[in-house]
Chain A
Amino acid sequence: DTGVSQNPRHKITKRGQNVTFRCDPISEHNRLYWYRQTLGQGPEFLTYFQNEAQLEKSRLLSDRFSAERPKGSFSTLEIQRTEQGDSAMYLCASSLYRDRADEQYFGPGTRLTVT
């Protein structure tokens, strides 16, 4: 059983650098989500895709953040000009949309540390 995978698992970068994370969803899933989780908090919704279309972006997703899902398969999340406040765990989830409240399967996350 291949679940949701994320790479890298850890990333340390200097302030001002660009970083890119990758998420590979469960193969037949048509929805893909990105969340951010800071220390001591629950995950916060960032954005989601249905197939290759990005259907919603949270206000948390500033102009420095961009997400793509080419061909409706894997997704990338890029952060440009990183700031210390971007340090967090970035979670990816996927689901198979049928009708309502489809179960989201989460990956292990990418932990970003901005120094």
Chain B
Amino acid sequence: AQSVTQLDSQVPVFEEAPVELRCNYSSSVSVYLFWYVQYPNQGLQLLLKYLSGSTLVESINGFEAEFNKSQTSFHLRKPSVHISDTAEYFCAVSPEGDSSYKLIFGSGTRLLVRP
């Protein structure tokens, strides 16, 4: 079985400051890793994913995440946040193989960007 821990329920940060949202997972098998974002009154949207290859993955809007297998982590970072980045961010994993459809989510981190 898999589980995902997002220790920070809310992260307040000032505009243009850097931010890191933490994600740790537990699994007895290899996993794929994802970050989803949920803006107010909208559905979850995939931000970025790690399937294989380079452990550093990037999104089109400046976020990046690095897969660290030894620390079982997949932290999300952005060097300079905007007001529009205010949203809820969910880390998720799915087991490699036939059950890769089954996303297991963390409890989410609310990013609050202040002017």
Chain A contacts to B: CB under 8 angstroms: 3-4, 31, 33, 35, 40-45, 48, 56, 91, 93, 95, 97, 100-109
Contact = CB atoms under 8 A, between A and B. Distances in A.
Interface string B1-45: 000100001000000000000000000000010001000011111
A113 to B, nearest CB: 17
B83 interface: no
A42 B43 contact: no
Nearest to B108: A42
Interface in B70-96: 90, 92, 94, 96
Contacts of A104: 46, 101, 103
Contact of A43 (B44, B49, B94): B44
Nearest to B95: A101
A101 B100 contact: yes
B101 A31 contact: yes
A35 to B, nearest CB: 8
A43 B101 contact: no
Nearest to B46: A103
Interface of chain A: mostly helix, strand, loop or mixed: loop
A102 B32 CA distance: 11
B7 to A, nearest CB: 13
A60 to B, nearest CB: 12
Contact of A42 (B92, B101, B102): B92
Contact of B105 (A43, A100, A101, A109): A43
Nearest to B105: A42
Contacts of A41: 107-108
Contact of A106 (B43, B49, B100, B102): B43
A48 B96 CA distance: 17
B40 to A, nearest CB: 11
B56 interface: no
A45 B43 contact: no
